[in-house]
């Protein structure tokens, strides 16, 4: 995939965004999914597809008490597992993938998670997003995790024009300093949950407004709407 060309002006804007994120969110990287063992994070991330982290954490609290090892998941009955994870949605496909994934981990990787992204994405139910969650949290490998928040806000900030998660991932890898990749994920998720929500984003309250094309446009529309309302 060709590298993105960035002007000096755009580089300066990106650095301002990063600086503002670091000042606003003075935090270390923390995964929103609860886990103790590496394989538990893998299972939880598979379950998180089209489901909130909060719901996944509720489900895995009991799930990991019932299935205490990756071998337990490999030997699980699919119908029973479907019932156990029903509330996360898409439970039939998730149960099937979890069992197949667990079996391969046991048979080919001795129950250990592989580090290489190609090996990870070869597992059932594991795409690049899930693989990058594992690489960033378990192995400390710099990675961009393109979830719904990262996709939405990166587009709004003008850091990418793509909709495809893989293209977004590579676009952000080109534009963001490598040492910021993992931290960017958690910062943008936090921003997406509090200010830059999918519906009714609080652009007027956002600390990134001066460098956000979307936010500026939204404020312009709001000012125009308010002026029209006053005239009426």
Catalytic residues: 129, 147
Token pair, residue 229, equals 């309302």
Enter the DSSP assignment of 85: T
215 C-beta neighbours (distance < 10 Å), count: 21
Query: Angle 171-32-123 (CA atoms, 0-180°, nearest 5)?
Result: 65
Q: How far apart are CA 141 and CA 143, in angstroms?
A: 6
Judge whether 78 and 96 are in contact, CB under 8 Å.
Answer: yes
C-alpha distances (whole Å) from 10 to each of 7, 41, 75 are 5, 36, 52
Evaluate whether 214 touches 156 at the Cβ level (below 8 Å). Answer: yes
User: What is the Cα–Cα distance from 106 to 76, expressed in whole angstroms?
Assistant: 13
φ, ψ of residue 47 in degrees (nearest 5):
-70, -25
* Residue in this structure with the two tokens 């290489």, named with its chain if needed: 116
């Amino acid at each position: 995939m060709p590298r993105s060309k960035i002007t000096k002006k755009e580089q300066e804007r990106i650095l301002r965004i990063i600086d503002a994120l670091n000042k606003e969110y003075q935090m270390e990287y923390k995964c929103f999914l609860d886990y103790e063992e590496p394989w538990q994070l893998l299972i939880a991330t598979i379950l998180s597809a089209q489901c909130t982290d909060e719901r996944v954490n509720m489900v895995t609290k009991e799930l990991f008490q019932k299935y205490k090892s990756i071998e337990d998941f490999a030997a699980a009955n699919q119908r029973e597992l479907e019932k156990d994870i029903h509330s996360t949605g898409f439970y039939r496909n998730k149960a099937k993938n979890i069992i197949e994934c667990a079996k391969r981990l046991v048979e080919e990787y001795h129950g250990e998670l592989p580090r290489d992204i190609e090996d990870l994405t070869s597992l059932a139910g594991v795409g690049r997003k899930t693989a990058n969650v594992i690489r960033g949290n378990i192995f400390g490998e710099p990675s961009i995790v393109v979830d719904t928040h990262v996709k939405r806000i990166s587009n709004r900030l003008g850091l990418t024009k793509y909709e495809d998660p893989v293209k977004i991932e590579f676009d952000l890898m080109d534009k963001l300093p490598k040492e910021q990749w993992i931290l960017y994920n958690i910062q943008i998720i936090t921003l997406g949950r509090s200010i830059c929500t999918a519906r009714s984003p609080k652009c007027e309250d956002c600390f990134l407004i001066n460098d956000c094309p979307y936010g500026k446009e939204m404020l312009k529309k709001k000012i125009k709407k308010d002026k029209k309302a006053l005239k009426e």
